Amino acid sequence: MHIPDGYLSPQTFLPMYGVSATIWGIGLKKIKKQLPLKHIPYLSMAAAFSFLVMMFNVPIPGGTTGHAVGGGIIAILLGPWTAVVAVSTVLVIQALVFGDGGITALGTNCFNMAIVLPFVSYWTFKLLNGRATSGKRVYVSSFIAGWFGLTVASAFAGTELGLQPLIAKAADGAPLYAPYPLSVALPAMVGEHALVFAPVEGLITALLLGYFLKNEPETVFAINGGPK
């Protein structure tokens, strides 16, 4: 899902940088209130986990990649704003150090994977889980939350790529950036993620949530408001 340089027009990536930067600022303020100082190591571990999960990249037609992110479980355990900061940090390191995802596309990649994914997963889990603290409902809700969050994020990425031929064209009508129309880019991104990578995201979310509920239930933000 890492969009590289050269696939997004300035009309797309500049506004996305502005949106993401605004949300980063809010996120940094939020986690000061939501994440106690003694639990800052959880933030570091969350970022490291997300980095590891995203290393397993599989190319997808259209110029990007497919993979799990880990943003759903981070949002459920530590809160969506903490997930914004953790996953964004990973994406910045990947772009600057490893060349995974473009510099111009960084704001867009962060919006898709570090903002859309965590918030969709978090609120999906809250909606489906209700007040349950254990049992089958927790596992099913967390799996669906992880699956749905990544699928929606992939739909955003596919839409951003698919709109480029409409946004920026040469004089002869040839696309200047991502060449594939929405009818190609959106199904390619959503199909691959919904069928392959999102189930992995859902499984990771359910298994890790089950572990924390068994061993450190006080850390689960989505159920009890987070670590105390």
Q: Helix/strand/coil (H, E, C) string of 98-111?
A: CCCCCCCCHHHHHH
pLDDT at 113: 96
pLDDT at 74: 94
pLDDT at 68: 85
pLDDT at 66: 79
> Which parts of the chain sit beneath pLDDT 70?
37-39, 60-64, 225-228
Q: How far is CA 102 from CA 12, 17, 63, 69, 224, in A?
A: 13, 12, 11, 17, 38
Question: How many whole angstroms separate alpha carbon 185 and alpha carbon 73?
Answer: 27
Mapping DSSP onto H, E and C, the string for the chain reads CCCCCCCCCHHHHHHHHHHHHHHHHHHHHHHHHHCCHHHHHHHHHHHHHHHHHHCCCEEECCCEEECCCCHHHHHHHHCHHHHHHHHHHHHHHHHHHCCCCCCCCHHHHHHHHHHHHHHHHHHHHHHHHCCCCCCHHHHHHHHHHHHHHHHHHHHHHHHHHHCHHHHCECCCCCECCCCCCHHHHHHHHHHHHHHHHHHHHHHHHHHHHHHHHHHCHHHCHHHHCCCC
Q: How far is CA 207 from CA 4, 72, 148, 200, in A?
A: 31, 12, 16, 11
pLDDT at 82: 92
Mean of the per-residue pLDDT values for the chain?
90
pLDDT at 131: 86
Q: Which CATH number fits domain 10-223: 3.40.50.300, 1.10.1760.20, 1.20.1430.10, 2.160.10.10?
A: 1.10.1760.20
Query: pTM above 0.85?
Result: yes
